[in-house]
Amino acid sequence: MAAWDLSIIVDDLGPDSPPITISVTSDLHIGGVIFKVVEKTQAKRDWSDYGLWWEQKQCWLLRTAWTLDKCGVHADAKLIFSPQHKPLRLGLPNGTTLRMRASFSAPVFRTVLNICKVLNIRHPEELSLLRPVEEKKKKKDQKSEEEIYDITDVPLTSASVPCLYNGMPAHFSDSPKTEAVYKMLSASQPSPAPEMLAKLYRPASIVDKTHIHTRWLDSSRSLMQQGVQENDKLWLRFKYYTLYDLEPKYDMVRLTQLYEQARWAILLEDIDCTEEEMMLFGALQYHIGKVSQSDAQALTSGLEDLDSALQSLEVKMGAESTANDMLENMTAPELNDYLKIFRPKRLTLKGYKQYWCKFKDTSISYFKSQEESCGEPIQQMNLKGSEVAPDVNVAGQKFCIKLLVPAPEGMNEVYLRCDNERQYAQWMAACKLASKGLTMADSSFDNEVKSIQTFLSMQRSNPGAQVAQSDDSINTLSLVSPRYHKKYKAKQLTPRILEAYQNVAQLSLTAAILKFLQIWQALPDFGISYFMVRFKGSRKDEVLGIANNRLIRIDLGVGDVVKTWRYNTMRQWNVNWDIRQVAIEFDGHINIAFACVNADCKTVHEYIGGYIFMSTRGRDQSDTLNEELFHKLTGGHEAL
């Protein structure tokens, strides 16, 4: 057979180095070509990760047993001998950028699997990569570029389950640098400055929301095939909103990143919520930020494990609490103070009047004066089941507690005015607990007092002096979406967040994150990915929402749901790749077909198939991921 010359560019030999030319025959297999190239370079290095990339055909020649003939390679082929794993800048859900090696030759699905293995994120099938939104940066800003965490040195472990060392996967515990990366991955980031929040891109309409979904990479093709270059930036995001088997014990990174993605979705109004919900999200963010800071010293999740183990031990012991503890509980603590009380009644303009108040168990009794406190109180209010709200203005030295005390005739409105922060924090904490039927003897009392004081200190800070802000004085504007920046001033917002905060202040870090995720998931629009499509037979563009259990047809103008179809009534779906049309048949001979306006129909196809794949998880007990099935369901004509 005739020999011919094949020229191959070898990566990493320097940009100017000429291609290497080797003499081959058509029946030489790829492995042989590689051998010849390596021999010719005479460079001693580890070539094991290198593979042949065929530039014109945009494909890898990875089957070493195939001959050149079988691959269709001729003398005009431009081949590049290049590493299959290259550094990639990954934008994480928490907004940081991580530089790490990823496979440029495997299908994106597998690449994500490997990335997640390194990052210690379970259920990587729920994540994928997408191209970032172009940042319109001014050149001068470029220098103050974000900090990049680099873990390109970390080997891509093949170990199935990363063993934990010092509370983190062993490959993170090698150096302080990688430990810092793990910390970044597993702890939530501080709240963004409100100014920065306002500058970030926010989708203004449902049409805007469709744009983001045009950016997903194709899971069945490699990064290289999709034009991604070494050191390019891609976003790693949760793509399928079917959060399977969340287990705080193993999922610290996953939970944290999920929380970050949810938080940004809310802050940037990617998902709509009501004002009440926003306040609760704000309160949870504040709480999570605060708790994770104090936990930061405790460092590793390993210690956290220990902590939780100790805690559960304590709980067990608590059941058989010691005699001392019980004694403590028997001597009921009280609060006694002069407070001003105001009971608004119709047609009265009476103001606050001072009384001697006594808080015992879950009741407040008040007397004319301390001297009369042994006698019958003027009134006694049992706060169990009441609504307690703060009415505070630190600057104005106003520390009021608004109580709505239930009675058979309705709710009695009572205001208690305290003299100072300390007094307020104690009475407020006592009221809070009493409304839940707990007394000050409850172990949470001290924490409650502390958290109220902390929150008060947020108000104390001068909103003008943001530079001097300490950790305690987060600007509440950074906890809500920019919409509320216009609607409220910080000092109006703080009391509202404080109000919501009272209900979550006792949560542990993990519980708070889970709560945040739960509320997020309970939002009506949760987990819907939007695509602009044109239905067959329709003359206008419409929006197709893809959720984990249904497809939603949405009127683009009004935003109203026109129709929903559930996957479980779906008989089959097909893609006509020639005309780029997706056709779906549902039970009862319902057929729909649509073409995608701004996204590749492969993306839509993959989304639907992906959700169907997600719903098959857990059916068989095995924990192994059925990669083949995923590709079958999402691959389309390129798959097999």
Interface residues with another protein (CB under 8 A)?
243, 246, 272-277, 280, 322-323, 326-328, 330-331, 385, 387, 404, 406-411, 483, 503, 514, 517-525, 549, 558-559, 568, 588
The nearest distance, CB 13 to another protein, in angstroms, is: 51
Distance CA 11, CA 50 (A): 9
| Shortest distance (Å) from residue 106 CB to another protein | 30
Which one, 243 or 532, has the nearer CB to another protein? 243
> Residue 97 burial (CB < 10 Å; 0-12/13-18/19+)?
middle
> Residue 382: which of 414, 354, 355, 426 has the closest Cα?
414
Residue with smaller CB distance to another protein, 444 or 466: 444
> Which one, 179 or 328, has the nearer CB to another protein?
328
Alpha-carbon span 101 to 104, nearest angstrom: 9
Closer to another protein by CB, 310 or 407: give it: 407
Q: Which is nearer to another protein, 334 or 419 (CB)?
A: 334
- Which stretches within 55-139 are classed as H helix? 68-71, 108-119
Nearer to another protein, 299 or 570 (CB): 570
Q: Could you give the 3-state DSSP secondary structure of residue 31?
A: helix
Q: State the amino acid at position 440 in one-letter form.
A: M
CA distance 30 to 639: 23
Q: Which is nearer to another protein, 223 or 258 (CB)?
A: 258
CB of 199 to another protein, least distance (A): 20
- Report, in Å, the least distance between residue 155 CB and another protein: 34
Place of tokens 């012991």: 317
Q: Are 595 and 579 in contact (CB under 8 A)?
A: yes
Rounded Cα distance between 420 and 523, Å, is 39
For the CB of residue 524, give the shortest distance to another protein in the complex, in Å: 6
Half-sphere exposure for 238 (CA within 13 Å, toward CB): 28
Distance CA 66, CA 30 (A): 6
DSSP code of 200?
A: S
3-state secondary structure at position 105: coil
Smallest distance, another protein to C-beta of residue 39, A: 56
With CA atoms as reference, report the closest residue to 479 among 634, 299, 285, 344: 285
Distance between CA atoms of residues 393 and 175, nearest Å: 48
Least CB distance from residue 404 to another protein, whole Å?
Answer: 8
- If the CB atoms of residues 298 and 562 are measured against another protein, the closer one turns out to be 562
In the complex with another protein, the residue whose CB is nearer, 81 or 586, is 586
CA angle 123, 128, 134 (to 5 degrees): 150
Minimal distance in Å, beta carbon 387 to another protein?
6
Among residues 372, 303, 360, the alpha carbon closest in space to that of 334 is found at 360
Least spacing, CB of residue 6 vs another protein, in Å: 55
Q: How far is CA 523 from CA 97, 368, 516, 549, in A?
A: 29, 50, 11, 15
Q: How many other CB atoms are found less than 10 A from the CB of residue 561?
A: 12
Is 3 or 407 the residue whose CB approaches another protein more closely?
407
> How far apart are CB 634 and another protein at their closest, in Å?
21
Give me the least distance between CB of 377 and another protein, in Å please: 18
Considering the complex, state which of residue 537 and residue 588 has its C-beta at the smaller distance from another protein. Answer: 588
Record the tokens describing residue 126, joined without a space.
């729920």
Residue 328: CB minimum distance to another protein, A: 7
Phi, psi of 57 (to 5 degrees): -85, -5
DSSP category for residue 240:
S
Sheet architecture: strand order including 148-150: 127-130, 233-238, 85-91, 97-103, 148-150
Cα–Cα distance for residue pair 405/385, rounded to 1 Å: 7
In the complex, minimum distance from the CB of residue 459 to another protein, in angstroms, rounded to a whole number: 24
Rounded Cα–Cα distance for residues 549 and 607 (Å): 11
Looking at the Cβ atoms of 327 and 640, the one nearer to another protein is 327
* 7 residue type, one letter: S
- Report the phi/psi class of residue 410: left, alpha or beta, with left for phi > 0 and alpha for psi in -120 to 50: left
CB nearer to another protein: give 163 or 330: 330
The residue type at 341: I
Residue found under tokens 């504040």: 286
User: How far from 529 is each of 252, 254, 532, CA to CA, in Å?
Assistant: 26, 20, 10
Q: Which is nearer to another protein, 228 or 517 (CB)?
A: 517
Task: Answer for the pair 389, 500: CB distance below 8 angstroms, yes or no.
Answer: no
Nearer to another protein, 482 or 636 (CB): 482
What are the b/e assignments for 366-381, b being 16+ CB within 10 Å? Answer: bbeeeeebeeebeeeb
Q: How far apart are CB 601 and another protein at their closest, in Å?
A: 27
Smallest distance from another protein to CB 219, Å: 24
**What number of residues does the chain have?**
640
Shortest Å, Cβ 521 to another protein? 4
The pairing of beta strand 97-103 with beta strand 148-150: parallel
Residue (155 or 557) nearer to another protein, CB: 557
